[in-house]
Amino acid sequence: MIEFVLCLILFCIGLYCVVRKRNIIKIIIGLGIIEYAVNLFFILIGYRAQGRAPILAKDQTVINMVDPLPQALVLTAIVIGLAVTALLVAIAIRIHDKYGTFDITKIRRLRG
Amino acid sequence: MLPFFVVIPLACAFLISLLGKRIKNLSDILANLGTLALLILSLYSIGLVNNHKILVYKVGGWIPPIGISMVLDGLSSFMLVIVGVVSFLVTVYSINYMERFTDKWKFYTLFMLMLAGMNGVIVSGDLFNLFVFLEIASIASYALVAFGTEAEELEASFKYAIMGSVASSFILLGIAFLYSYTSTLNMADISLVLSIKEPGLMVSFIAVLFLVGFGLKAALVPFHAWLPDAHPSAPAPISAMLSGVFIKILGVYALCRVFFNILGVSDKIFFVLTILGVISMILGAFLAIAQSDIKRMFAYSSISQIGFIIFALGIGSPLALLGGLFHLFNHAIFKSLLFLNSGAVEYSTGVRDLKRLGGLNSRLPITGFTGLLGAMSISGIPPLGGFWSKLIIIIAAVQAGYFMFASIAILISIVTLAYYLKFLGFTFFGKLDDAWLKIKEVPWAMRFSMIILAIICVITGLLLIPILRPFLQSAVEVLLSGREYSSIVFGAIR
């Protein structure tokens, strides 16, 4: 049970980082933390203590196995996360070109 | 034929990215043919839904609770038609408009990817697939918002990307909780398992996660901050797509599907939706009045109109759902028309500031007239489409006993009329500035899209007459069937 709580705490740390930090790069890192917390949570759902991979072999039966579906889903989620992070970093570089700073309090041309 | 809704735009995106740079005009032709094919397919799907009620496609031949499925029912086909109409007209418009930017083929590639994502969200029958398609559409739209790569556009795109990604994480967390609770990802199967289990705190917690996630995508008021930056910064065709269909598919449609058909609606959820809808309605409208940038005003207006739709869904009676979905259709048409108008104004004058424009009606007669029709329709002037949908929503609110909210809705309609009159007055009427004496009407492709959208705007009221009504009614029935959805889907498989 404690793992799940820790996982949600990690999620909240990421959320805090996105909401409170002023540096664009730190915000991106915060987003990464959120994504990893969710992925970790997904993996934990499928985990069974002492479980093993659910591979059917001839003369053996798997009694206690780990759920493989969340692992497949997390692989997809990681790839999506990679795409988002790459896009965000690319935008951050362009923003630095235009504004000359990473500080979001100074990047405020849009208002209203 | 269901996979074609995703395959066609994906194939177009692939071909355009591969060949678009070498062969000139190929990207224009391919993108337009692709969206035309999607429009025809979506219109054809109306007939299919009329005959069969529901179609289920089994991906790879695996039977759904184990394999992935795609589902076409009344609501899906309704949404597919909206996406088909708007995306086709927007690509026609882009032929001329996007000449101002370099690398048109990159634009079309991203556009088709976004389209594939949106159509995928609509036809998907699997919750995780819905998430994947949602992310495809979102990532393409983050890039499209930054397409101009000016300072403001990058800033808006960054803000949008961060908030959108946080929303996606909430949705994924919701899916993780739902999977741990029901051990399945198929939407119909989840709904079946949940109807057997006792309703507990877990379902409410999941509902909150989904509400935050999809609410952020739909720009409901506590989560709206990204929209007024992101939508005006994108090129005009993309603003039309984002405001016209994107927030509705990723926000409203997904919210409807998850709450009505999977989690099941309760009084609490209806109450929350009503309150959120009313707040968005009020705040969006009052913030819109103060704007002097045309596109920014329209963006706030989108928040207000989405509020109307969510409010109607929150009332939850059959009439209100009809009104909400009808307003969704109308809003898709006239908001994309208005954004295309603003694009036409910007195309010929290069200015978006209301204070510097004026009297353009003599120079841009077609833009002016279609803009007038769009603005009158959105503010609810009688013969036009917007009037009927707002009327239905208000009647339904009175019938359900929400007298105060109904009067607020009427008040907001008047405020809407006020800021659209401000837009018309400052842009098309009044004295012509000397600077704009030499401008000409926009090219034919842009005119074509605006005229067609204006015609649809005028005739949408006809959707309520008995012959055409099944189109709306079948969508409403899907929402009304609620948890029955699972037995309908499993009935279609056997």
Chain A contacts of B168, Cβ < 8 Å?
80, 84
Quick check: A63 pLDDT over 80?
no
Chain A contacts of B180, Cβ < 8 Å?
45
Parent domain of B153:
4-493
Nearest CB to A91 within list B146, B173, B229: B146
Distance CA B10, CA B18 (A): 12
Distance CA B238, CA B295 (A): 12
Q: How many domains does chain B have?
A: 1
Q: Is B353 in CB contact (< 8 Å) with chain A? A: no
List CB contacts of A49: < 8 A, sequence separation 6 or more: A64
Judged by CB atoms closer than 8 Å, whether chains meet at A99 and B152 is answered as no
Residue A112 pLDDT: 47
Nearest CB to B142 within list A15, A76, A87: A87
CATH of domain A2-51+60-99: 1.10.287.3510
Chain A contacts of B290, Cβ < 8 Å?
112
Band (pLDDT 50/70/90 cuts) for residue A110 is low
Q: Compute the nearest-CA separation of A58 from chain B (Å).
A: 24
- Crossing angle (nearest 10°) for helices B104-123 and B4-19: 170
ipTM of the complex: 0.93
Note the pLDDT tens digit of each residue in A4-51: 899 989 999 999 999 998 899 999 999 999 999 999 999 998 888 887
Judged by CB atoms closer than 8 Å, whether chains meet at B161 and A38 is answered as no
Neighbours of B487 (CB within 10 A): 14
Note the pLDDT tens digit of each residue in B81-134: 999 999 999 999 998 888 888 788 999 999 999 999 999 999 998 999 999 999
Residues of chain B with pLDDT under 70: none
What would the mean pLDDT of A88-100 be, rounded to a whole number? 91
Chain A contacts of B151, Cβ < 8 Å?
95, 98-99, 109
Q: Are A105 and A22 in contact (CB under 8 A)?
A: yes
Q: Which helix (H) or strand (E) holds B55?
A: strand B55-58
Q: Which carries the bigger pLDDT value, residue B67 or residue A73?
A: A73
Nearest CB to B165 within list A73, A84, A98: A84
pTM of the model: 0.93
Q: What's the mean pLDDT when you consider all of chain B?
A: 89
Q: Are B247 and B234 in contact (CB under 8 A)?
A: no
Q: Is B117 in CB contact (< 8 Å) with chain A? A: no
How far out from the chain centre does Cα B377 lie? 17
Judged by CB atoms closer than 8 Å, whether chains meet at A88 and B158 is answered as yes
Chain A contacts of B135, Cβ < 8 Å?
80, 83-84
Residue B123 pLDDT: 92
How many residues in chain A?
Answer: 112
Q: Are B308 and B390 in contact (CB under 8 A)?
A: yes
Residue A111 pLDDT: 58
